[in-house]
Structure 1
Amino acid sequence: MNVFFGIVIVGLMIMVVITLVRGIIAFLNSTKEDLNRAPGDGPTPNQLLQNKLMFKRIQYQAAAILVCAVLLAMAR
């Protein structure tokens, strides 16, 4: 069972890194036009993608912490 949870934790860590890299790439793709837009125009599709990827990264991190907590609880 510990091996299973270890594999799950490693998989979640890989997903965190992947979404982090994708988010950084999306951030780097933002143009000066995106940054100089009027505040009332709403978010651009690129900004929505950045927000979505940040939220996914937080979800993967929370899941990894939860699996670690379960693994530690089972170790007692």
Structure 2
Amino acid sequence: MLDILFILALVVTVGVAIILLFGIGSFTRGGEFNRQNGNKIMRWRLAAQFVAVILIAAYVLIRGNGG
């Protein structure tokens, strides 16, 4: 289970980075797409980041208890 949790946390963390880079690219280009979707992209990043933090914390907690 520990390896699966680590891999899942890693995948979600990479997803956060991809969403962040997409949002930054959208923001720098500006335009109608950014006006319509900028906040939505930021909310997706925050949700993915929340999941990543929970998974990382769970991994550290389990590993710290000798799991």
TM range (shorter): 0.7 to 0.9
From 39, 47, 72, the equivalent of 2:35 is 47
Aligned to 1:71: 59
What's the offset of the Cα at 1:13?
1.1
Aligned to 2:46: 58
Which structure features the higher share of helix residues?
Answer: 2
Matched residues in 1 for 2:57 and 2:14: separation?
Answer: 18
Percent identity over paired residues: 25
Aligned to 2:23: 23
Q: Which runs of 5+ in 2 are unaligned?
A: none
Q: How high is the TM-score relative to the length of structure 2?
A: 0.80
The Cα RMSD (Å) is: 1.5
Paired positions, count = 64
Matched residues in 2 for 1:72 and 1:20: separation?
Answer: 24
What's the offset of the Cα at 1:46?
2.2
What's the offset of the Cα at 1:25?
1.3
